[in-house]
A and B are shown apart, each in its own frame.
Chain A
Amino acid sequence: AQTVTQSQPEMSVQEAETVTLSCTYDTSESDYYLFWYKQPPSRQMILVIRQEAYKQQNATENRFSVNFQKAAKSFSLKISDSQLGDAAMYFCAYRSPNTGNQFYFGTGTSLTVIP
C-alpha cells in the first residue's frame, strides 16, 4: 500500500485568514492522482480538490488551492478566507491507476476555525 502522511494532527485558523495543511506521500510511480477530502462532523466525506500528477499547474477550486511539488512528493492544501464551515477533518489521499483503483488516505488534520 502507498503511504500518505499528514504531519499536523490539528490546526487552527482565524476566520477570514489563510491556513495551509501539509501532506507528503511515498511512491515510486510517475502517474498518480492526489486529493483532499473534507469530513465534517456529519462524517460525510466531501471531495475538496484533486490534482493529476502529470499536470504541473496547481489545482484551484474557489478558496481552495494546492501546492503540488512532485519531486518533493508534497501536496499541501491552502484555504483562503477561512470560514466557520471549513471546520472539519481534512484527509489527503492518493490513487494510482496501477494498483486496482484503490484510494489511500492520510491520517487527517483536524481544522478549527476561530470566530
Chain B
Amino acid sequence: GAVVSQHPSWVICKSGTSVKIECRSLDFQATTMFWYRQFPKQSLMLMATSNEGSKATYEQGVEKDKFLINHASLTLSTLTVTSAHPEDSSFYICSASSWDVLAKNIQYFGAGTRLSVL
C-alpha cells in the first residue's frame, strides 16, 4: 500500500506553546486527508477532513481555532495545536487518500504522533 509519513512521532511541549504535526503522502497525491485523535485505550475520534486547496471541515465539538489544519499541497497536510494545554495531550493520527482510492474506501494511515503537554 501507499506510504504516509507523520512527523514527529513524539513531541513534548510546554503549556501555552503551539505544536505543528506534519502528514505527508510519499508516493501518491492525497486529495483528502483525515485527522483523528485517540485517547489511551479508546477509539479514533475524527477531528476534521481536509481536501487539498480547501478549508478543512471540522467535526462537531472540535475547535477550529485550536486545531488549525492546512492542506496546501497534494502531499502535505499539517495540524497545528495552538496554545497547547495538558488536556490536549493525546495521540494524533492522520490518514490520506486520493479521490480514486477513496472511491474504493481505502485510506492510508500515518504512524501517529504522541503529544505530551507539560
Q: Are B49 and A100 in contact (CB under 8 A)?
A: yes
Give B111 Cβ to nearest chain A Cβ, in Å.
5
Q: Please tell me which one of the listed residues A46, A102, A107 contacts residue B34 in the complex, with CB atoms under 8 A apart.
A: A102
Give A81 Cβ to nearest chain B Cβ, in Å.
24
How far does the alpha carbon of A22 sit from the alpha carbon of B2 in the complex, in Å? 29
Interface size on B, residues (CB 8 A): 24
Q: Are A91 and B57 in contact (CB under 8 A)?
A: no
How far does the alpha carbon of A103 sit from the alpha carbon of B32 in the complex, in Å? 12
Binds B, one of A11-19, A37-45, A72-80: A37-45
Q: Assess A91 versus B34: contact at CB under 8 Å? Given A33-B105, A100-B57.
A: no
Q: Are A91 and B43 in contact (CB under 8 A)?
A: yes
Q: Are B43 and A102 in contact (CB under 8 A)?
A: no
- In the bound complex, residues from chain B placing their C-beta under 8 Å from that of A95 are 105
**Quick check: is B26 within 8 A (CB to CB) of the other chain?**
no
How far does the alpha carbon of A110 sit from the alpha carbon of B41 in the complex, in Å? 9
Q: Are B32 and A44 in contact (CB under 8 A)?
A: no
How far does the alpha carbon of A105 sit from the alpha carbon of B46 in the complex, in Å? 8
Q: Interface code B79-118, partner A: CB below 8 Å = 1, 0 otherwise? A: 0000000000001010101000010011101011000000
**Size band of the A side of the interface?**
20 to 34
Who on chain B is nearest to A45 by CB? B109
How far does the alpha carbon of A102 sit from the alpha carbon of B43 in the complex, in Å? 15
Q: Are A105 and B43 in contact (CB under 8 A)?
A: yes
Who on chain A is nearest to B42 by CB? A107
For chain A, residues 79 to 93, give those with C-beta under 8 angstroms from any C-beta of chain B. Answer: 91
Give A57 Cβ to nearest chain B Cβ, in Å.
16
Query: Which residues of B pack against A, CB within 8 Å?
Result: 32, 34, 36, 41-46, 49, 57, 59-60, 91, 93, 95, 97, 102, 105-107, 109, 111-112
Q: A44-B111, A45-B93, A105-B44 are known contacts; what are 5 more A-B pairs with Cβ within 8 Å?
A: A47-B106, A95-B105, A100-B49, A102-B46, A105-B43
Interface CB pairs A-B, < 8 A, 10: A1-B46, A42-B111, A44-B112, A50-B105, A100-B49, A101-B49, A102-B34, A105-B45, A108-B41, A110-B41
Question: What are the 8 A-B residue pairs with the smallest beta carbon separation, nearest first?
Answer: A45-B109, A105-B44, A33-B105, A107-B43, A105-B43, A43-B112, A44-B111, A108-B43
